[in-house]
Chains A and B, each alone.
Chain A
Amino acid sequence: MNWRDPETMNVVIGKVLRYGVILSGAIILLGTIGLAATNGLSDTSGMLTYNPNTVPHDNLDVSLGGLAQGLITFSAFSWIELGVIVLIATPVSRVIISVFLFAAERDRLYVLVTAVVLTLLLFSMLVTPFIPGFHA
């Protein structure tokens, strides 16, 4: 692969997005099959109630420990969550890889542009949820 050829970027980014989508889709599909097999004939009414006083609400443990525990015990919800995390990570990895692809093209201006976008993105995803007063 010629890394200085501008077409390389289209090929690589196209593949990163495609593999991310296939991986997350496969994990979510497995989780959904598990959900249908175990809870398919349950009633949804109790499962879709949103209670702002117990956020994160009752039927969901969004902590890392809770997720790991659920994955080991083959909880369908946890596997779906993992698939969703892979899906969210896909555009983020696309931005990370773009920094290197622009560097390979020797395009310093766009290495800078992409690095700034990546910094803003990571700040927004990982820091702002924990700043008091944000997202209120």
Chain B
Amino acid sequence: MFVIEFVLLMFLVSIFAGIFGSIVGLGGGVVIIPVLTILMGVDIHFAIGASIVAIIGTSSGAASTYVRDKVTNLRIGMFLELGSASGAITGAAIAAYTNSAALETVFGGILLVSLVPMVMKIGEEIPKSPELKGMPKRLGLRGSYTESDGRVINYNATRPVEGLAGTAVAGVLSGLLGIGGGAFKVLSMDLAMKLPMKVSTTTSNFMIGVTAAASAGIYFARGDVDPLIVAPVALGILIGAAIGARILLRSRNTTVRKIFAIVLAIAAVQMILSALGVPV
């Protein structure tokens, strides 16, 4: 394949990845990795390096819009980053002593199981907001955002410790494998903290850039971030994220949840296939 063909193809695929990644809060790696490894025959190391850059691109590209329009909850994001950042370091520290195939099987299984509560909430537009008390109150874990039709949605968070534990798991996964953190972040905010779906995916989207940056140093130093692969991916992702952010702001929470459930199922299967030795 000519360089120019590869660049154009990956650019187009990455626009698509950026659109979906920014809506579901996972960052586009779910699409980028299998396209690179299976369709393009690129080594999994390069694919993960490109995925890290794709995650940072989706995160910053879409968050600039989400933060300005106040759908992302900055305090909840900063608080949960305590979990993801310490998890990422833990993941790096235990990488030598863990069997990544076994871990992927376990985490892939957890994602599959979490599809059940996700599907049971499939028609939920706005969760019934709990009373703000105790730790969430002291931490200021509440917020409001305006829907595109002008409705103001007020919400309070609950169970911050469970949320923090979930994002710590997300961090460990990112630190160990370079992938898979976003799904656990969204699930923590949705299932444990009871936030509106759009707040969960956009706050996850906001956080994944920091988690990915935390492990970017090692991939960069190893030479896994290949300019030829990363250039079209970054450019496409940035354009896709800008488009995806506009779509999310106009979408209903129920629509975002349906798209997330589909991507969650794909991510779970991917993780289990990866454990079985398929480079995805």
> Cα distance A91–B46 when bound, in Å?
22
Contact (Cβ within 8 A) A136 B227: no
Contact (Cβ within 8 A) B67 A17: yes
Residues of chain A from 44 to 66 with CB closer than 8 A to chain B in the complex: 44-45, 47-50, 52, 55-57, 59-60, 62
Classify the secondary structure of A's interface with B: helix
Contact of A87 among B56, B79, B86, B217 (CB under 8 A): B56
**Cβ-based interface call for B202 (8 A):** no
A43 contacts across to B, CB distance below 8 A: 1-3
Contact of B78 among A45, A62, A81, A114 (CB under 8 A): A114
- The chain A residue with its CB closest to the CB of B41 is A48
> Cα distance A57–B42 when bound, in Å?
14
> Cα distance A118–B152 when bound, in Å?
32
**Cβ-based interface call for B59 (8 A):** yes
A39 contacts across to B, CB distance below 8 A: 3
- The chain B residue with its CB closest to the CB of A136 is B96
> Cα distance A136–B97 when bound, in Å?
9
Contact (Cβ within 8 A) B1 A21: no
**Cβ-based interface call for A69 (8 A):** no
Contact (Cβ within 8 A) B231 A32: yes
B215 contacts across to A, CB distance below 8 A: 124-125
Contact (Cβ within 8 A) A123 B45: no
Known: A17-B61, A91-B60, A134-B96. 19 other contacts (CB 8 A): A7-B70, A14-B63, A21-B64, A25-B235, A32-B235, A40-B3, A41-B3, A42-B2, A43-B2, A48-B41, A48-B228, A57-B226, A60-B227, A87-B53, A88-B213, A90-B209, A94-B60, A117-B78, A128-B92
Contact (Cβ within 8 A) B64 A18: yes
**Cβ-based interface call for B123 (8 A):** no
**Cβ-based interface call for B250 (8 A):** no
Contact (Cβ within 8 A) A25 B234: yes
How many A-B residue pairs lie within 8 Å, measured between CB atoms? 206
Contact of A125 among B46, B217, B232 (CB under 8 A): B217
* Given contacts A9-B74, A50-B46, A91-B56, A133 and B96 within 8 Å (CB-CB): yes
Contact (Cβ within 8 A) B67 A13: yes
> Cα distance A136–B216 when bound, in Å?
15
What's the minimum C-beta distance from B225 to chain A, rounded to whole angstroms?
6
> Cα distance A81–B234 when bound, in Å?
11
Residues of chain A from 65 to 123 with CB closer than 8 A to chain B in the complex: 76-78, 80-81, 83-85, 87-88, 90-92, 94-95, 98, 107, 109-110, 113-114, 116-117, 120-121, 123
Contact with A along B64-106 (1 / 0, CB 8 A): 1101101000110011011001101100110110000000000
What's the minimum C-beta distance from B263 to chain A, rounded to whole angstroms?
22
How many residues in A have their beta carbons less than 8 Å from beta carbons of B?
A: 73
**Can you sample 12 A-B contacts with CB below 8 Å?**
A40-B4, A47-B228, A50-B43, A56-B223, A59-B226, A77-B228, A80-B231, A83-B231, A85-B220, A128-B93, A134-B92, A136-B96
**Cβ-based interface call for B38 (8 A):** no
A84, A116, A125, A129: most-surrounded residue (chain B CB, <10 A):
A84
- The chain A residue with its CB closest to the CB of B5 is A44
B214 contacts across to A, CB distance below 8 A: 120-121, 124-125
Contact of A62 among B68, B79, B81, B220 (CB under 8 A): B220
> Cα distance A87–B6 when bound, in Å?
22
